[in-house]
């Protein structure tokens, strides 16, 4: 068996860490400027481009061709005659609070109150092309773009005032949504300056932006935008949309992964009143006025399937190790010095193997989409991290032009890397095309667990050696299947070989918050702990002894200090530490666990995570990300694992797949290092990475049992 085909539509398989493959996308621009002005009314518009300085003035009736626009627009904003600022970008809000932090950025740079900014996001007809919201890229990539746009808009307003007052623009100041002339005391609001004008400006490439030390709106703990809509149930997630005439769609799932349809009879289903059955190859869908009727109709379809042999979760690690592709992928190989030689001659050598299970994202809002056709034009609302990617998938699958597809992403009930694909969107669109009515598809929790994609399992092998003084001298690290993110050791080692070995997919796999960096950090930091103990050194001291990276040292020291490392511990308690960096941010976590030696129950008592992602844009949102990542990481560390056999997920429910709940959650402290001298990096992923090894190391400290597999204690600790 080489691959397992997943999903009913026989689409190409996902690669692990899919987002790494999406670079170099073609940029698109859909909205003619004329329509744009019609949408927003007159005012001042600034487009962000990375080259050419072209200021231009146009009238609303001025003819416009999309090809006139630069191809690399990433963001734009508009200041209306009412003073409302609308900023447009292709990112999406999935609970990470970027709607708030991006609006803060715009308000900060434009010098307007936060409340006057609104964000239009993730709509392929209104927002500029964006590859997707992943990889902790929003803050480092979109923040500078929006700042430059806002800065250019501010300049435009100053110039407009200077022109009106016949003074030099240099003597004017912009603050609090006004341009002021300190010399004469004269001032004009942005709203009044925008009135009666339709100005548009393309953006100078290197317009200076406000440094973090001078931020006034950014850097503040501003609460989530539209918070009231979320506590009143007024916000509509995709499953809450109900366009007039809508039908509910359901898709028939094969009995197991890779099964193919061999016999099919839908006569009984078709005889049911109000039901539409759609068959397209192995895709079978139903539409009906209620979800219950659609489900019942599918149950009445008689099918037989040919199933194929499948690997089970019991044998997965041996399978992955023995099925690595023989041809080495040198893109994921780093080497320096002579590892084999040093390992062979080392007096103090330590080798170990680590296994990491498949886990599920399980966002509470399941995959869902509403599709509506109008002739050849298709509009789809869906919860996804890649609006433009989903548009492409829809166009490809349905064989229509991308120009006829609009994808809109309502603020979504989370994703965690799990919503890169357009599965539900394609299903809804396919059924709606046959139904001539809008169709909504909402996956059940079981479909979520079985037919979405997983964080891939992996096997990691490490061989290592240290000098008598406790310095790392050789590091040989191999990751089979789980991925190459965060694979390189941050410690100083003269002889290193690091390699990722790909293995054909067993289960459908893709991005998950932090990608493989969580697995790679788990293996590395567990191994470092074992090396420290074997050389009778304190685990923190051993790390610092082998570490030159100043930012990583700083988070290690900050978490240790707040935690009180090392300190005397009670019976059955243990302390662990772990650290790492990825995507421009730095994390260290200290953990305290309590182990009940009679029952084997392991309880995490306390986590202290220090985090540095450069200048902090919103400390409140950042605290959410860091503490949230610690809690999510706790599940994968202690008990989450997808079980499978015969091509079926055998624990596809919350009653059988344990996620962290209130009583699992320890006291958690986030120590945020605000580096105003460093441009902000993203923070959605890295804070998850040190949780599992810190907990595993604490369990070793408490019990002397070294646990090398994730999850660490799905059934409690075994007696020694």
By CB under 8 A, name the binding residues for other proteins: 94-97, 223-224, 227-228, 230-237, 239-240, 242, 248, 290-292, 361-366, 411-414, 416, 442, 444-445, 620, 624, 627-632, 653-655, 659-663, 665, 668
Q: Which residues contact 93 (CB under 8 A, 6 or more apart)?
A: 99, 121, 122, 411, 412
Least distance from C-beta 684 to other proteins, angstroms? 11
Maximum alpha-carbon separation in the chain: 85
Among residues 135 and 363, whose Cβ is nearest to other proteins?
363
Which helix or strand (DSSP H or E) is residue 668 part of?
A: strand 667-673
Instruction: Single out the residue of 426, 388, 411, 409 nearest to residue 29, CA to CA.
Output: 388
Burial class, 627, CB count within 10 angstroms (exposed 0-12 / middle 13-18 / buried 19+): middle
Residues 547, 550, 552, 555: is their CA dihedral positive or negative? positive
Contacts with 552 (C-beta within 8 Å, 6 or more apart), sequence order: 490, 579, 580, 581, 586, 588
**Closest to other proteins by CB, 163 or 234:** 234
Name the strand (E) or helix (H) holding 475: strand 472-480
The structure tokens listed for 531 are: 């090396």
Q: How far is the CB of 625 from other proteins (least distance, A)?
A: 8
Q: Which is nearer to other proteins, 252 or 702 (CB)?
A: 252
CB of 236 to other proteins, least distance (A): 7
For other proteins, the closer CB: 154 or 437: 437
Task: Identify the DSSP state of 559.
Answer: H
Helix-helix angle 387-398:423-435, to 10 degrees = 50
- Min dist. Cβ of residue 553 to other proteins (A): 27
Give the nearer residue to other proteins in terms of CB position, either 74 or 386. Answer: 386
647, 307 contact by CB (below 8 A): yes
For the chain, what's the residue count? Answer: 720
Cα–Cα distance, 666 to 590 (Å, whole number): 12
Quick one: 21 or 227, whose CB is closer to other proteins? Answer: 227
Query: Least distance in Å: CB of 660 to other proteins?
Result: 7
- Closer by beta carbon to other proteins, 614 or else 684: 684
Phi, psi at residue 612, to the nearest 5°?
Answer: -130, 115
Helix (H) or strand (E) holding 440: strand 439-442
Q: CA neighbours within 13 Å on the CB side: how many for 198?
A: 14
User: Which residues on neighbouring strands pair with residue 260, listed in sequence order?
Assistant: 306
Residue 543 class from Cβ within 10 Å (0-12 exposed, 13-18 middle, 19+ buried)?
buried
Nearer Cβ to other proteins (130/365): 365
CA-to-CA distance for 236 and 256, rounded, in angstroms? 34
As measured in angstroms, the least distance from the Cβ of 714 to other proteins is 18
Q: Would you report the helix, strand and coil content of the chain in percent, each value rounded to 5? A: 30, 25, 45
Q: How far is the CB of 571 from other proteins (least distance, A)?
A: 23
* Shortest Cβ 425–other proteins spacing (Å): 18
DSSP class per residue in 564-597: TSS----TTEEEEEEEEEETTEEEEEEEEEEE-T
d(CA 576, CA 590): 6
Distances (CA, A) of 592 to 246, 413, 640, 672: 52, 31, 20, 20
Nearer to other proteins, 446 or 596 (CB): 446
Calpha distance 240→236 (Å, rounded): 5
Residue-wise DSSP of 420-432: -S-HHHHHHHHHH
140 or 628: CB nearest other proteins:
628
CB of 230 to other proteins, least distance (A): 4
CB of 132 to other proteins, least distance (A): 17
* Minimum gap (Å) between residue 632 Cβ and other proteins: 5
Nearer to other proteins, 436 or 654 (CB): 654
CB of 212 to other proteins, least distance (A): 22
Nearer to other proteins, 650 or 705 (CB): 650
Distance CA 555, CA 54 (A): 45
Of the pair 96, 485, the CB lying nearest other proteins is at 96
Nearer to other proteins, 343 or 626 (CB): 626
**Structure token pair of residue 550:** 């100043």
Minimum distance of other proteins from residue 484's CB (angstroms): 26
**Residue 117 beta carbon to other proteins: minimum distance, rounded to whole angstroms:** 19
């Amino acid at each position: 068996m080489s691959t397992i085909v997943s999903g009913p539509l026989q689409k190409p398989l996902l690669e692990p860490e899919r987002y790494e493959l999406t670079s170099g996308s073609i940029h698109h621009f859909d909205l003619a400027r004329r329509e744009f002005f019609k949408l927003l009314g007159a005012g001042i518009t600034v487009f962000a481009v990375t080259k050419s300085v072209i200021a231009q003035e146009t009238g609303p009736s001025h003819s416009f061709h999309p090809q006139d626009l630069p191809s690399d627009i990433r963001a734009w904003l508009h200041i209306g005659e009412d003073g409302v600022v609308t900023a447009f970008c292709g990112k999406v809000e999935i609970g990470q609070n970027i709607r708030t932090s991006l609006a803060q950025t715009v308000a900060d740079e434009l010098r307007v109150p936060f409340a006057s900014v609104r964000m239009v996001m993730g709509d392929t007809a209104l927002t500029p092309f964006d590859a997707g919201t992943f990889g902790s890229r929003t803050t480092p990539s979109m923040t500078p773009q929006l700042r430059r746009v806002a800065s250019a808009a501010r300049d435009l307003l100053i110039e407009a005032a200077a022109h009106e007052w016949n003074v030099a623009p240099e003597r004017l100041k912009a603050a609090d949504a006004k341009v002021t002339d300190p010399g004469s005391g004269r001032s004009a609001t942005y709203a009044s300056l925008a009135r009666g004008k339709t100005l548009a400006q393309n953006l100078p490439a290197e317009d200076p932006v406000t440094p973090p030390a001078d931020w006034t709106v950014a850097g503040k703990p501003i609460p989530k935008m539209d918070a009231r809509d979320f506590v009143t149930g007024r916000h509509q997630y995709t499953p809450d949309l109900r366009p007039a005439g809508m039908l509910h769609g359901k898709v028939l799932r094969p009995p197991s992964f890779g099964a193919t349809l061999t016999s099919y009879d839908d006569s009984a289903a078709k005889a049911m009143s109000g039901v539409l059955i759609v068959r397209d190859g192995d895709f079978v869908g139903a539409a009906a006025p209620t979800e219950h009727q659609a489900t019942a109709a599918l149950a009445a379809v008689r099918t037989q399937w040919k199933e194929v042999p499948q690997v089970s979760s019991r044998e997965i690690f041996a399978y992955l190790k023995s099925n690595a592709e023989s041809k080495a992928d040198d893109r994921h190989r780093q080497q320096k010095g002579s590892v084999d030689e040093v390992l062979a001659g080392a007096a103090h050598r330590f080798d170990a193997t680590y296994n990491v299970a498949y886990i599920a994202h399980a966002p509470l809002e399941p995959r869902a989409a509403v599709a509506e056709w109008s002739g050849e034009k298709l509009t789809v609302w869906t919860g996804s991290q890649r609006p433009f990617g989903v548009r492409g998938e829809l166009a490809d699958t349905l064989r229509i032009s991308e120009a006829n597809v609009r994808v809109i992403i309502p603020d979504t009930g989370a994703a965690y890397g799990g919503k890169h694909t357009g599965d539900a969107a394609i299903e809804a669109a396919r059924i709606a095309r046959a139904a001539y009515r809008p169709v909504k598809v909402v996956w059940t929790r079981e479909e979520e667990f079985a037919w979405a994609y997983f964080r891939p399992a992996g096997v990691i092998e490490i061989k290592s050696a240290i000098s008598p003084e406790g310095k790392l001298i050789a590091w040989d690290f191999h990751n089979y299947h789980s991925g190459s993110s965060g694979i390189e050791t941050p410690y100083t080692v003269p002889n290193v070989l690091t390699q990722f070995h790909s293995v054909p997919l067993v289960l459908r796999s893709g991005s998950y918050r932090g990608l493989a960096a969580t697995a790679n950090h788990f293996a590395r930091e567990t191994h470092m702990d074992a090396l420290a103990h074997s050389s009778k050194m304190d685990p923190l001291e051993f790390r610092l002894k082998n570490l030159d990276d100043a930012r990583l040292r700083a988070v290690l020291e900050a978490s240790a200090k707040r935690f009180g490392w090392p300190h005397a511990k009670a019976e059955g308690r243990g302390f662990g530490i772990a650290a790492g960096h990825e995507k421009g941010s730095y994390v260290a976590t200290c953990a305290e666990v309590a182990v009940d030696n009679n029952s084997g129950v392991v309880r995490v008592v306390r986590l202290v995570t220090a985090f540095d992602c450069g200048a902090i844009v919103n400390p409140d949102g950042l605290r959410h990300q860091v503490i949230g990542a610690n809690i999510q990481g706790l599940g994968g560390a202690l008990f989450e694992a997808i079980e499978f056999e015969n091509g079926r997920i055998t624990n596809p429910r919350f009653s059988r797949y344990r996620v962290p709940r209130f009583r699992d959650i320890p006291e958690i402290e986030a120590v945020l290092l605000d580096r105003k001298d460093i441009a902000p990096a993203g923070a959605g992923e890295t804070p998850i990475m040190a949780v599992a090894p810190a907990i595993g190391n604490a369990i070793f400290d408490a019990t002397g049992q070294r646990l090398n597999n994730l999850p660490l204690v799905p059934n409690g600790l075994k007696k020694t």
